[in-house]
Amino acid sequence: MKAAQRTVNFVLCMVFCTCLSVLSQGNTAQERVTVKSIVGKAEVRSPKTGKWRPARVGMTVKMKWDIRTYVESSLELQFQSGTVLKLGENSVVNLSTLLQDQSSAVTKSNVKVGSGQVWANVKKMVSKKSKFTFETPTAVAAIRGTRLRVKVDKSKTIVDVYEGSVSVRNKGSRKEVMVTTRNRAVVEEGNSDVSTYSFEEVQSDIDTTSGMPGLGGEDTTNVADTTEVDTTTEIDTTEEVYLNIESPEDNKIVDETQVVIKGAANPGATIFAGSKQAEVSASGTFSITVDLMPGVNKITLTAQLGSGSKQADITIIYEPPKNLFLTLTQPAERMKVKTPVIPVQGATVAGAEVTVDDNAVTVTPDGSFSYQVHIPDEAGEYVVLVVSRYKGEEVRLERTVIYEPEREKLDLVISSPTNGQEIKTNLIRVVGKAVFGAKLEVTGGGGSFNRSFTVGKDGSFVCEIPIHERDIGEYVIDVNASVEETGEEKDKTITVEVDVKSANINTSIPRIDITGPTQGASRIGYLIARVTDNTPEDQLTLITDINGSKDQYTLERSDQEKIILEEGKNRYMFYTVDLAGNKSNVLSGEMYYLPGPLVIEIIEPDETQYVIDDLPPMPVNAQSLSMDIEVEIDDGIRDVPETILYCRVNGIVLKETNNYIYKGKIPLNRGANNFLIEVEDMAANRQKKTFTIVINE
């Protein structure tokens, strides 16, 4: 799968404090890494300059450098230890750590993969202390010799193991998972676990090993023998070293900037010529390419085998051509291309500097060059400018190229969600397929969600729609695909049902309130319970408990219910629960239902009107006599006498002596004595009664 072109600043780091502790401080150096091959366009960036520049075959890349490739491009890196990495298109990596102990052969390598994919053929390490680690924004993979692929896709890392084994862990976890041959590890952002699959389980998505680089010849220039090396492969250093230069002849005059020197030496020896080096083949032959400066070039070749060495000299005279020229074989004027890439091929004077649209291009020793100009994926005319400069001279050529892309006929297929599907999560993934370059507009919920984007090269697309509580119920998704160049347009509409019962979506907490008094007493025999909820299409279950008797009522999200009380004391508790299980506040308390009326019954004296004429004469000085009075109150309930607030006669408060029985004394005077009995309960039910006592002497 090809990703869109982009430059990524990535956050990949390797914890290598322990690595430094096992490296000998005095003999630690950077492991040499060179660019082995390039297809298309690739660039490198040094942290010192911070500027991107074109990568070249044979150039050395150093620790902390960034490397990136463009669309339909790739690049291979050759490590001194023998490991080979291949960067696929639209990939960005950073050579975070390249350390080598020259005395112990211990190497510590860390490669940060920010985006794209990297194939690796990691050579088996001769020291158990050596480490080779890949890191991505989500994962860490530790290797000791294997063939694998690391792919970074959005917030996910995929590690495919073609041979050997790899230890993989999530960057936020210490738990490691060992992944063996023909198995895959997947690490996703936000998930601390490492998922594993066999190649058979993910066959349709497995990359073939056609992109896998082979192991390069191991460069042992700066690697010393250790006790951990297999002694069956050690070089016999007692062998006499010989070196013979066969071509070109000495003092040869050339008009190219490079010369290829061929010769013979001991099989397995290494040939050095300044910063260049080459390996002697098993048949004892070698060839090494050397850069030339104008004039006389005295070149010293050294053959090194074990601790022995041999040198030979050759002189080459470089006489550059006198006249600058520039020819283009591609593109032809008004050439038509069907892909957004313009091939450029041509020739100029060897040693000239060539730029294509201000991008530096490598010129081979014979003066030929090639380049690919990546243009926007939009039909139209594009002008390519090629400039060759040599010794103050300059030649410029322009070519106009017509880009007429081949477009598939517009189609629009939505594979997920389906019509009528019930949505239980707070995210809808709209998955489908259109054609490359089509503009897609996805609208949801009548316009509450809207997103536009362009379909990638494989035609597939994914659009994630966040779902909120307000979206509960019928939810309509409209997808529009259009191709501006052809005017084609397609529409799809999917209707789903957002589940009100899903706790992921229905998050509002319902509420219950009581209308009117909630404590004390009342002559009204019910309470009004009102429920509210912000969730559309929700239903609420009202649970009531009156004196231990429980009931349930089904209500709408904004509704009320009349709860009947028992006469007398009522201990109550109310709450409500919605369809997703969200529970409201709890209301509880005590409420007296006192319907009344109150009835006053005079027990003593036993008549409503009294005439007393058989009393002894009242003392002369006495103003009055006292008399016992007993009153019984009937409230129709007979089990909550505490609800009676008072019982008084002519303002004199009688005391409760038994259940609803009130007693006291009242004064009597000569003649007629009129009395008023008053009673009131907690619900403001009141009652009065009068009686008269007449004293005759």
If one counts every other C-beta atom within 10 angstroms of the C-beta of residue 12, the result is: 24
When pLDDT is averaged across residues 194-198 and rounded to a whole number, the result is 89
What's the pLDDT score for residue 618? 63
Q: Quote the CA–CA distance of 163 and 199 in Å, as a whole number.
A: 12
Q: At residue 516, does pLDDT exceed 50?
A: yes
Is domain 599-695 in CATH 2.60.40.10, yes or no? yes
The residue among 109, 187, 177 whose CA lies nearest residue 150 is 187
Per-residue pLDDT of 81-126, as tens digits, reads: 889 999 999 999 999 998 887 677 788 899 999 999 999 998 877 6
Indicate the length of the chain as a whole number: 697
Domains 17-211 and 326-403 share a fold: no
Per-residue pLDDT of 517-541, as tens digits, reads: 889 999 999 999 999 999 999 999 9
Homologous superfamily assigned to 413-498: Immunoglobulins (2.60.40.10)
What's the pLDDT score for residue 203? 73
Q: At residue 70, does pLDDT exceed 80?
A: yes
Confidence of residue 669 (pLDDT cuts 50, 70, 90): confident
Half-sphere exposure of 61 (CA within 13 A, CB side): 32
Is domain 511-593 in CATH 1.20.58.220, yes or no? no
Q: At residue 129, does pLDDT exceed 70?
A: yes
Q: Quote the CA–CA distance of 287 and 552 in Å, as a whole number.
A: 94
CATH, range 17-211: 2.60.120.1440
- The pTM of this model reads 0.42
Q: Quote the CA–CA distance of 63 and 149 in Å, as a whole number.
A: 22
The residue among 504, 458, 451 whose CA lies nearest residue 477 is 451
Q: Please give the mean pLDDT across all residues of the chain.
A: 85
Q: At residue 21, does pLDDT exceed 70?
A: no
What's the pLDDT score for residue 26? 47
The structure tokens listed for 392 are: 């103050």
When pLDDT is averaged across residues 618-632 and rounded to a whole number, the result is 78
Q: Which residues partner with 298 through β-bridges?
A: 315
Beta strand extents in 434-471 (DSSP E only)? 439-444, 449-454, 460-466
When pLDDT is averaged across residues 404-410 and rounded to a whole number, the result is 81
If one counts every other C-beta atom within 10 angstroms of the C-beta of residue 652, the result is: 13
What's the pLDDT score for residue 323? 81
What's the pLDDT score for residue 208? 57
Confidence of residue 612 (pLDDT cuts 50, 70, 90): low
When pLDDT is averaged across residues 57-80 and rounded to a whole number, the result is 93
Tell me how far CA of residue 566 lies from CA of 338, 415, 685, in angstroms: 87, 60, 17
What's the pLDDT score for residue 424? 94
- In CATH, what is the architecture of 237-318? Sandwich (2.60)
Q: Quote the CA–CA distance of 494 and 430 in Å, as a whole number.
A: 10
What's the pLDDT score for residue 111? 95
Residue percentage of the chain with pLDDT more than 70: 87
Per-residue pLDDT of 677-689, as tens digits, reads: 999 999 999 999 9
Confidence of residue 613 (pLDDT cuts 50, 70, 90): low
What's the pLDDT score for residue 13? 32
Q: At residue 12, does pLDDT exceed 50?
A: no
Per-residue pLDDT of 25-67, as tens digits, reads: 446 788 899 999 999 999 999 988 888 999 999 899 999 999 9
Contacts of 235 (CB under 8 A, 6+ apart): 268, 305, 306
Domain boundaries, the chain: 17-211, 237-318, 326-403, 413-498, 511-593, 599-695
The structure tokens listed for 500 are: 């009100």
DSSP string for residues in 594-655: -----EEEEEES-SSEEEE--SPPPPTT---EEEEEEEEEE-S--S-GGGEEEEEETTEEPE
Per-residue pLDDT of 236-268, as tens digits, reads: 334 588 899 989 999 999 877 789 999 999 988
Residue percentage of the chain with pLDDT more than 90: 57
Confidence of residue 207 (pLDDT cuts 50, 70, 90): low
Torsion, CA 14, CA 19, CA 21, CA 23, rounded to 10: -130
Residue 19: which H helix or E strand, with range? helix 17-22
What separation, in Å, do the N-terminal and C-terminal C-alpha atoms of the chain show? 125
Residue 276 φ then ψ, to 5°: -90, 150
Q: Quote the CA–CA distance of 285 and 263 in Å, as a whole number.
A: 6
Place of tokens 């480490």: 131
Q: At residue 139, does pLDDT exceed 80?
A: yes
The structure tokens listed for 332 are: 């032809």
What's the pLDDT score for residue 467? 95
Q: Quote the CA–CA distance of 625 and 613 in Å, as a whole number.
A: 14
Q: At residue 206, does pLDDT exceed 80?
A: no
Q: Quote the CA–CA distance of 443 and 271 in Å, as a whole number.
A: 66
Half-sphere exposure of 495 (CA within 13 A, CB side): 3
Q: Please indicate whether residue 31 or residue 575 has the higher confidence score (pLDDT).
A: 575
Confidence of residue 609 (pLDDT cuts 50, 70, 90): low
Q: Quote the CA–CA distance of 320 and 395 in Å, as a whole number.
A: 17
Confidence of residue 216 (pLDDT cuts 50, 70, 90): low
Best-predicted range by mean pLDDT among 51-60, 220-229, 423-432? 423-432
CATH, range 326-403: 2.60.40.10
223-254 in b/e burial notation, b at 16+ Cβ within 10 A?
Answer: bebeeeeeeeeeeeeeeebebebeeeeeeeeb
Beta strand extents in 171-251 (DSSP E only)? 177-180, 183-188, 195-198, 243-247
